[in-house]
Amino acid sequence: MPNSSVESPVREPRGVVKSARRISGDTQTQFAQRMGTTQSLISRYEAGIVEPPAKLLMQCVNILDASFSANVTLDALLILVRDRLRGPHMMGTRTALAHLIQSLELGESPSVNASTRSRTRGKPPRGR
């Protein structure tokens, strides 16, 4: 039996179900009603105890596809970042994302080196 305390990536069936439910903003009960099943089955799918049927997985994939195709809300983006960039092994990616966001806020090109920016406090580097 898989360990349900470990976050599952979207590429695993349990991760697909959980991500679709979270992006929908539904509780397990609400999501179960929408999917035509029970809350206890949704819980067991998300925990990896039971494999979800193909029809339910396709419904979840359609929800995920629609959410990425639509305008991304702040809540959906936060869930996506939290789910995908969790853990100490993702520290470098989180740091790079933070630098990208900071550079966009400063109106800089995302390719600006973060160490250069911190030394110049957001000012463009001086010519030599």
Residue of 72, 81, 75, 18 whose CA lies nearest to 48? 18
Domain final position from 71, 95, 115: 71
Q: Please state the domain count of the chain.
A: 2
Query: Is pLDDT of 67 > 70?
Result: no
Query: Is pLDDT of 50 > 90?
Result: yes
Question: Which is higher by pLDDT, 32 or 122?
Answer: 32
Q: What is the extent of the structural domain holding 5?
A: 1-71
Q: Are residue 98 and residue 56 in the same domain, yes or no?
A: no
| Distances in whole angstroms, Cα of residue 14 to Cα of each of 22, 24, 99, 119 | 12, 15, 32, 45
Q: Are residue 9 and residue 66 in the same domain, yes or no?
A: yes
Q: Are residue 1 and residue 57 in the same domain, yes or no?
A: yes
Query: What pLDDT, on the 0 to 100 scale, is given for residue 121?
Result: 44
Query: Is pLDDT of 112 > 70?
Result: no
Q: Are residue 2 and residue 36 in the same domain, yes or no?
A: yes
Q: Are residue 47 and residue 109 in the same domain, yes or no?
A: no
